[in-house]
Amino acid sequence: MKRPRNRFLDYLVYLVVRLVVFTCQMLPIRVCYALADGLAALVYRVDKRHRQVALENLQHAYGASWTETERDQAVRGVYRHFCRMVMEMLHIPKTLHLETWRERVVLKGHVPVLDRFLDGGPIILITGHFGNWEMAGYLFGLYGFTSSTVYRPLDNPYLDQFIKDFRGATGQKLIPKKGGSEQMVEVLESGGILSALADQDAGPKGLFVDYFGRPASTFKALALMAIQYQAPIVVGGARRIGPGFRYEVVCEDLIEPAEWANQPDEIRWITQRYTHALEKMVRSSPEQYLWLHRRWKHQPQPRGKAAKLRASLGEPSSGPSAPTQATRTGDPVPNP
């Protein structure tokens, strides 16, 4: 049974976070960058578990084409990028406005996407833990295109409400990942914009598609909703181009319903297509991707004679030794 949370401790943590946020917002962004770089160096040293996960992920993704030194430098860059990204998020409310956004943001491939927004109808926005994914959502809100984002609520209710208020400043709405299916349906049925991060492991029953040449368990719900509501899928992200707080918001792919209409396996085709687009973005700036999470945590399990042979040899049925071809469709999974 899950132990009840200590509300006093939760509120104390919330107050500390608000104090840190307030202090950082009062400091010039260049000072915040310096603090972020120092914090990144410290976390790189003490966070051995995630550092090792990142190194293993880069080994899976790039293999022998990257040296051990190159992988280590990339991981250091990952910590530095995300610590800086947090500082930038704190400065977004006073930095990013309709009058100033052109000083910070360059748009790329946006024309057909804007046309789709203006035409109306349901749209699904897909991105990954790449660049500054929070800024992209905030920017769309500034343009007047409010979206509903699927997210995992924080365990601390006070911090969770703080995040909701921050995102809601431009009209964005957050939908809980667990138990939010009815809200997602309402968004699409009303012709709204639904956005989600689509680069997390979906467990042993997810749909395995190719990601950096290796099967990656991926949620099918986004593809299912796109098919059901004939919603085009926009894959994009915000890539840091510097110096300082400057980003390129790019539409990497626009997938129209007519493109999957005649595919023999629509769900797999859509899921593979947007996963390939996410991979292309990551390859453009790998140090801006969150390699710290286990994207390849689960692998396809062999079936039939192959499974019996593995069992007789005492080999595991999943993990690094599992087959490397995305050969099966997983069972239905919960919300994305």
Average pLDDT over residues 182-197: 95
pLDDT of 319: 45
pLDDT digits (tens, 9 = 90+) for 15-29: 999 999 999 999 999
pLDDT of 169: 75
**Which residue in 214, 232, 330, 192 sits closest to 275, CA to CA?**
214
Average pLDDT of the chain, as a whole number: 88
pLDDT of 65: 96
Q: In angstroms, rounded to a whole number, what is the distance separating the alpha carbons of residues 235 and 230?
A: 16
- pLDDT over threshold 80, residue 307: no
Task: Output the domain CATH number for residue 251.
Answer: 3.40.1130
pLDDT of 256: 97
- pLDDT over threshold 80, residue 333: no
Write down how long the chain is: 336
Q: Is the residue at 63 inside a domain?
A: yes
- pLDDT over threshold 80, residue 317: no
- Strands 193-197, 148-151: parallel, antiparallel or unpaired by DSSP? parallel
Burial class (CB in 10 A: 0-12, 13-18, 19+), 312: exposed
Average pLDDT over residues 216-234: 97
Is the peptide bond prior to 243 cis by the omega test (within 30 degrees of 0)? yes
Q: In angstroms, rounded to a whole number, what is the distance separating the alpha carbons of residues 244 and 30?
A: 8
All residues at 6 or more sequence positions from 196 whose CB lies less than 8 Å from its CB, including other chains:
124, 125, 126, 127, 149, 150, 222, 336
How many independent structural domains does the chain possess? Answer: 1
Q: Is the residue at 293 inside a domain?
A: yes
Q: Is the residue at 65 inside a domain?
A: yes
Q: Is the residue at 126 inside a domain?
A: yes
pLDDT of 320: 40
Q: Is the residue at 329 inside a domain?
A: no
Task: State the residue for tokens 């510097």.
Answer: 242
Q: Is the residue at 308 inside a domain?
A: no
- Strands 105-108, 148-151: parallel, antiparallel or unpaired by DSSP? unpaired
What tokens does 262 get?
């005649």
Structural domain of residue 288, as residue ranges? 7-299
- pLDDT over threshold 90, residue 246: yes
Strand partners, 210: 215
Q: In angstroms, rounded to a whole number, what is the distance separating the alpha carbons of residues 102 and 216?
A: 37
pTM of the model: 0.86
Residue 104 backbone dihedrals phi, psi, to 5 degrees:
-115, -20
pLDDT digits (tens, 9 = 90+) for 101-129: 899 999 999 898 888 888 889 999 999 99
Q: Is the residue at 84 inside a domain?
A: yes
